[in-house]
């Protein structure tokens, strides 16, 4: 067999995907059952007609009144929390009833068919289980059909930036295999598919005025149609980190017809340089959003504007370990980039709402037949039943009513039906910025310094973006710590930001212990880490210190020393940065189970975070977990799939519990459909429900994929989940008191990619702690 080295043809063909890593061995458990179960659907039994739509309007009024009555009965207990499905009292009764049930017998498969067994197990019938991907991580075909380069193309081709110097030139080759991949989404049983649109595939220079690449748009149109044809809801993200390179540094663009060659750029083109540091990018993004809404809005109702601005601003402009690889002014640039991303989101929303108001027939005059075909077809498909399975009439009716209402909203609105018909939920599209955070848990819960550090964590991670979206301005604590380095919004901007999130889109992968940022706490935590975690103990400390002192990585695969993250990283970190502004220290519990990325498995964190968000933001449109998941290493016995299944079980219990406590959660998207280019980790981290062989053949991680499919099909927790598990899932694993913990820093020393982040971070913290 050809050795998979950087010089082998195989290596280049796969963009650096290592056979040893990604050609993980197929698990022994057969995938045949999974595939059969997932694909053998029978014909649909209902055809929705316009007559029935009218009946649904009456039904809607009835259910609204009933819901309002329930809220009145129970809402007083938790006024800030919007109860969506049951009041507290009702839920308590359900749980009590379920307790009897749980001890009496394990819910049977039959009772699951009847809607998932006990009430505490069940998710609302309209709860959406989906999977997520991002364009740059899966598409490949980076120079095909008119796509322009993005900042990630540039960044990933700089030696030393990506683990094993991999790139995404081919990635999963999704651009050519999207039909197959959409079929995988359907086979999983996912109700929705969140994908992202590559800006530079649609607009090669990022600017509408320079010309639209119709082939690029057609590709995304195919994705949407492919989803709808399979009964899967398409959810589109406008921007998942792949800024057109032309907006970052236009002078690096090759000359093309009608444009001046490098070195002869117009002042306007040169003026675009600077990407998210430039105000002009806001306008360009707005136009791009408008174009996507106009051209794809007929298929897509739920949109995400910008994915994880925090990650881009901190990894891209503070540590420099993500594109565009800057750490020149980590005390200024992250704030400026974030400011522009927020304004870009608001601009997109302005376009979205203006389209919604000015053009109720968004699909276009005379295109009603298309809408009917797409939507009616899709809603009907949702009523398909697995072959040979008897569904009781109650369940069928519930599904029917839900889909009917969805249809009423979509088709009714598109027909220009009055707002009264769709009530306050009327909108042609809903848009949200996708925010990410780990759950910050005070390392020592009783310690006021740790509590204050938790507060700073919240403010400098999630609230940084969420407060402007919900209240129109940055959190006061952030202003007081950052001062004038934090840009200001004008009054008009504040107005456009406030209320611009139609739902709360959350990405959450883990929880961390947070403590005050002092040398003593750093020392305690670091010492604990070095002593106890074997992979940290393995790291030769001298080498680490030398690397930190010079801000270099350890040796690259070629044997030469290379700076991490491109030239900017070699310059070190100035004294003023987002890190010092935020001023907290993160740590992981020593006994925590870690995923392959070193992130602790901490389901309680997801539950607590959801409740915290509900309390602080009570988001209109509810919360959608737009990404969650975990990477695990494969082995011959299918360990990764098994651990995914266990992870999903923990996550689903956390979700359901948070919902029972009042969090208005409406959907959960697993990251990700299939293993892909995991940014600076290259192809080394496997988050996929499907794995990829080195020849790009997809195969399911059977146990993970099956667990996902069962959740989506049952809309209920697995029968094995006990009431005790459900009741205790909010608890911190160590009871109340934290044990000594290991800090996050240095966890991945020895891997050049993430070391980029942690070396810079550590160089700062280590210097303070030791030197």
Binding residues for ligand FCB, rule: CB under 6 A, are: 134, 137, 307-308, 311, 436, 507, 627, 671, 678-679, 687
Farthest-apart Cα atoms in the chain, separation: 79
Q: Looking at beta carbons only, is 671 or 766 nearer to ligand FCB?
A: 671
Residue with tokens 């992981």: 588
Question: Beta strand pairing status for 430-436 and 302-307?
Answer: parallel
CA distance 111 to 116: 6
Task: Answer for the pair 580, 768: CB distance below 8 angstroms, yes or no.
Answer: no
Q: Which two tokens stand for residue 746?
A: 């240095």
How many whole angstroms separate alpha carbon 523 and alpha carbon 527? 6
- The answer for residues whose C-beta is within 8 angstroms of residue 520's C-beta and 6 or more apart is none
Nearer to ligand FCB, 29 or 311 (CB): 311
Give 65's contacts (C-beta < 8 A, 6+ positions apart). none
Q: How far apart, in Å, are the Cα atoms of 670 and each of 506, 563, 624, 740?
A: 12, 34, 11, 31
Residue among 309 and 719 whose Cβ is closer to ligand FCB: 309
Task: Provide, rounded to whole angstroms, the least separation between the CB of residue 651 and ligand FCB.
Answer: 14
Minimal distance in Å, beta carbon 671 to ligand FCB?
Answer: 5
Parallel, antiparallel, or unpaired: how do β-strands 741-743 and 584-589 relate?
antiparallel
- Shortest reach from residue 678's CB to ligand FCB, in Å: 6
For ligand FCB, the closer of residues 53 and 630 by Cβ is: 630
Q: Which is nearer to ligand FCB, 14 or 436 (CB)?
A: 436
- d(C-alpha 381, C-alpha 161), whole Å: 45
Q: Which two tokens stand for residue 20?
A: 């040893």
CB within 8 A of 750, min separation 6: which ones?
535, 538, 539, 554
Q: How far apart are CA 325 and CA 564, in angstroms?
A: 9
**Residue located via tokens 């444009």:** 259
> In the bound complex, what is the minimum distance in angstroms from residue 136's beta carbon to ligand FCB?
9
Q: What are phi and psi of 677, to 5 degrees?
A: -75, 105
- Shortest distance in whole angstroms from residue 100 CB to ligand FCB: 41
Q: How far is the CB of 634 from ligand FCB (least distance, A)?
A: 17
The distance of closest approach from Cβ of residue 393 to ligand FCB in the complex, given in angstroms and rounded to an integer, is 42
Alpha helices in 570-630 (DSSP H): 578-582, 603-617
CB nearer to ligand FCB: pick between 133 and 290: 133
CA 279 to CA 336: how far, in whole Å? 9
CB 90 to ligand FCB: min, Å: 36
CA distance 235 to 224: 9
Give the separation between CA 91 and CA 71, rounded to whole angstroms: 12
Of the CA atoms within 13 Å of residue 275, those in its CB half-sphere come to 25
Shortest separation between residue 684's beta carbon and ligand FCB, angstroms? 12
Cβ closer to ligand FCB: 294 or 593?
593
- The smaller minimum CB distance to ligand FCB, of residues 311 and 447, is found at 311
Q: Give the nearer residue to ligand FCB in terms of CB position, either 438 or 441.
A: 438
Helices (H), 415-552: 419-422, 448-458, 464-471, 476-482, 491-497, 519-532, 534-537, 541-550
Q: At its nearest, how many Å lie between ligand FCB and the CB of residue 264? A: 37
Report the relative pairing of strands 698-700 and 690-692 from DSSP bridges: antiparallel
Return the closest-CA partner of residue 612 out of 598, 621, 623. 623
Residue 345 vs 656, nearer CB to ligand FCB: 345
Residue 224's H or E segment, with its range, is helix 214-229
* Least spacing, CB of residue 304 vs ligand FCB, in Å: 10
Question: 10 Å Cβ neighbour count for 607?
Answer: 28
Task: Give dist(CA 166, CA 9) in Å, integer.
Answer: 13
405 versus 758: smaller Cβ distance to ligand FCB: 758
Residues contacting residue 755 through CB under 8 Å, at least 6 positions apart: 547, 553, 554, 564, 748, 749
Q: How far is the CB of 620 from ligand FCB (least distance, A)?
A: 24
How, if at all, do strands 584-589 and 511-516 pair? antiparallel
Kindly state the tokens that stand for 512: 């961390």
Smallest distance from ligand FCB to CB 687, Å: 6
Name the residue nearer to ligand FCB (CB basis): 317 or 351. Answer: 317
Closer CB to ligand FCB, residue 205 or residue 436? 436
């Amino acid at each position: 067999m050809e050795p998979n080295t950087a010089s082998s043809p195989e290596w280049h063909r796969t963009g650096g995907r290592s056979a040893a890593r990604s050609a993980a061995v197929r698990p022994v458990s057969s995938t045949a059952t999974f595939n059969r179960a997932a694909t053998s659907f029978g014909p649909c039994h209902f055809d929705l007609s316009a007559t029935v739509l009218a009946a649904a309007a009456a039904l809607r009024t009835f259910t609204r009144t009933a819901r309002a009555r329930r809220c009145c009965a129970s809402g007083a207990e938790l006024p800030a929390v919007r109860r969506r499905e049951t009041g507290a009292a009702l839920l308590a009764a359900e749980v009590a009833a379920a307790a009897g049930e749980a001890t009496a017998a394990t819910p049977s498969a039959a009772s699951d068919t009847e809607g998932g067994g006990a009430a505490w197990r069940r998710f609302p019938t309209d709860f959406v289980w989906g999977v997520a991907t991002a364009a740059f991580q899966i598409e490949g075909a980076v120079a095909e059909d008119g796509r322009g380069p993005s900042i990630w193309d540039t960044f990933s081709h700089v030696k030393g930036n990506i683990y094993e110097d991999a790139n995404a030139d081919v990635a999963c080759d999704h651009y050519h295999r999207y039909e197959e991949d959409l079929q995988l989404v359907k086979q999983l049983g996912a109700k929705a598919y969140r994908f992202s649109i590559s800006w530079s595939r649609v607009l090669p220079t990022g600017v509408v005025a320079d010309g639209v690449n119709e082939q690029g748009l057609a590709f995304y149109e195919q994705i949407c149609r492919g989803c709808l044809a399979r009964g899967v809801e398409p959810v589109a993200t406008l921007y998942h980190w792949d800024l057109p390179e032309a907006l970052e540094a236009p002078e690096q663009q090759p000359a093309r017809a009608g444009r001046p060659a490098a070195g002869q750029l117009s002042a306007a083109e040169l003026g675009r340089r600077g990407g998210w540091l430039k105000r002009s990018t806001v306008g360009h993004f707005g136009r791009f959003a408008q174009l996507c809404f106009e051209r794809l809005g007929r298929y897509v109702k739920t949109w995400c504007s910008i994915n994880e601005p925090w990650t881009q601003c901190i990894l891209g402009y503070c540590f420099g370990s993500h594109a565009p690889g800057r750490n020149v002014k980590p005390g200024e640039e992250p704030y400026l980039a974030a400011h522009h991303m927020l304004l870009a989101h608001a601009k997109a929303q302005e376009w979205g709402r203006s389209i919604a108001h000015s053009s109720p027939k968004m699909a276009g005059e005379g295109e009603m037949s298309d809408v009917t075909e797409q939507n009616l077809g899709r809603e009907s498909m949702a009523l398909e039943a697995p072959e040979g399975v008897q569904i009781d009439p109650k369940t069928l009716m519930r599904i029917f009513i839900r889909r009917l209402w969805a249809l009423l909203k979509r088709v009714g609105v598109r027909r220009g039906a009055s707002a009264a018909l769709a009530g306050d939920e009327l909108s042609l599209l809903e848009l949200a910025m996708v925010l990410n955070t780990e759950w910050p848990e005070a390392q020592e819960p009783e310690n006021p310094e740790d509590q204050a550090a938790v507060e700073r964590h919240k403010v400098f991670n999630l609230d940084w973006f969420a407060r402007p979206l919900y209240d129109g301005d940055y959190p006061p604590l952030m202003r007081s710590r950052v001062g004038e380095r934090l840009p200001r919004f004008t009054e008009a901007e504040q107005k456009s930001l406030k209320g611009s999130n139609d739902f709360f889109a959350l990405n959450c992968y883990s929880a961390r212990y947070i403590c005050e940022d002092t040398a003593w706490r750093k020392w305690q935590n670091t010492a604990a880490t070095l002593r106890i975690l074997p992979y940290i103990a393995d790291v030769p400390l001298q080498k680490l210190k030398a690397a930190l002192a010079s801000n270099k990585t350890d040796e690259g695969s070629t044997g030469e020393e290379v700076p991490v993250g491109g030239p900017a990283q070699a310059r070190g970190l100035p004294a003023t940065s987002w890190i010092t502004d935020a001023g907290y220290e993160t740590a992981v519990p020593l006994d925590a189970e870690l995923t392959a990325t070193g992130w602790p498995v901490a389901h309680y964190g997801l539950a607590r975070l959801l409740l915290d968000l509900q309390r602080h933001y009570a988001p209109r449109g509810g919360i959608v977990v737009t990404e969650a998941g975990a990477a695990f290493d494969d082995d011959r016995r299918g360990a990764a799939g098994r651990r995914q299944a266990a992870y999903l079980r923990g996550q689903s219990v956390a979700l359901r519990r948070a919902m029972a406590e009042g969090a208005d959660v409406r959907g959960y998207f697993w990251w990700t459909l299939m293993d892909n280019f995991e940014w600076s980790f290259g192809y080394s981290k496997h988050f996929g429900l499907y794995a990829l062989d080195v020849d790009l053949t997809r195969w399911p991680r059977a146990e993970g994929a099956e667990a996902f499919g069962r959740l989506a099909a049952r809309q209920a927790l697995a029968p094995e989940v006990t009431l005790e598990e459900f009741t205790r899932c909010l608890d911190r694993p160590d009871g109340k008191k934290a044990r000594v913990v290991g800090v996050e820093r240095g966890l991945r020393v020895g891997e050049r990619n993430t070391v980029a982040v942690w070396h810079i971070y550590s160089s700062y913290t280590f210097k303070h702690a030791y030197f």
